[in-house]
């Protein structure tokens, strides 16, 4: 994927301004400090918390994505694979439990990318 792509910082959890600094101090599936985020970009210094309550918008993104995913998953499991609905819902809960942190971080990365513009000159530092 091209580094200048708008999707790059979302998929890689990088700063949307420089596409280099990490958004989070730990990796997603290490499950250590899952909800901790850098306050500023370690590379360009972009502010990741521009105002109080900034990430309420990310909550709606997360809600919409998980809602659509749950519907899609249950339709596939119950209608296409003919699973028992209890098994479908049970396995969905396990899948959502595993990917909860990833989804939380993904929604924040999308929200930050909507609100911060890419500036290629900021990425030259390192
Ligand atoms: Zn940055």
Nearest in space to 35 (alpha carbons), one of 112, 103, 110: 103
What local confidence, expressed as pLDDT, does residue 89 receive?
Answer: 96
Q: Are 118 and 17 in contact (CB under 8 A)?
A: yes
Q: Are 48 and 22 in contact (CB under 8 A)?
A: no
Q: Higher model confidence: residue 93 or residue 29?
A: 93
**Ligand 1 centroid to residue 57 C-alpha, Å:** 21
Instruction: Report how far residue 67's alpha carbon sits from residue 45's, in angstroms, rounded to the nearest whole number.
Output: 34
For 118, the token pair is 């890419």
Reported as a single tens digit per residue, the pLDDT across 52-70 is 999 999 999 999 999 999 9
Q: How confident is the model at residue 2 (pLDDT cuts 50, 70, 90)?
A: confident
Residue-range domain boundaries for the chain: 8-124
pLDDT exceeds cutoff 60 at 49: yes
**Ligand 1 centroid to residue 70 C-alpha, Å:** 33
């Amino acid at each position: 994927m091209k580094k200048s792509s708008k999707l790059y910082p979302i998929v890689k959890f990088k700063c949307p301004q420089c596409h280099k600094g990490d958004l989070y101090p730990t990796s997603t599936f290490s499950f250590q400090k899952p909800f901790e985020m850098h306050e500023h970009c370690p590379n360009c210094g972009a502010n990741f918390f521009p105002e109080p309550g900034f990430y309420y918008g990310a909550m709606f993104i997360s809600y919409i994505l998980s809602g659509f995913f749950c519907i899609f998953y249950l339709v596939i499991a119950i209608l296409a694979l003919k699973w028992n609905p209890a098994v479908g819902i049970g396995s969905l809960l396990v899948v959502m439990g595993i990917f909860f942190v990833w989804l939380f971080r993904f929604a924040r990365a999308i929200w930050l990318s909507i609100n911060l513009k890419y500036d290629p000159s900021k990425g030259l530092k390192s």
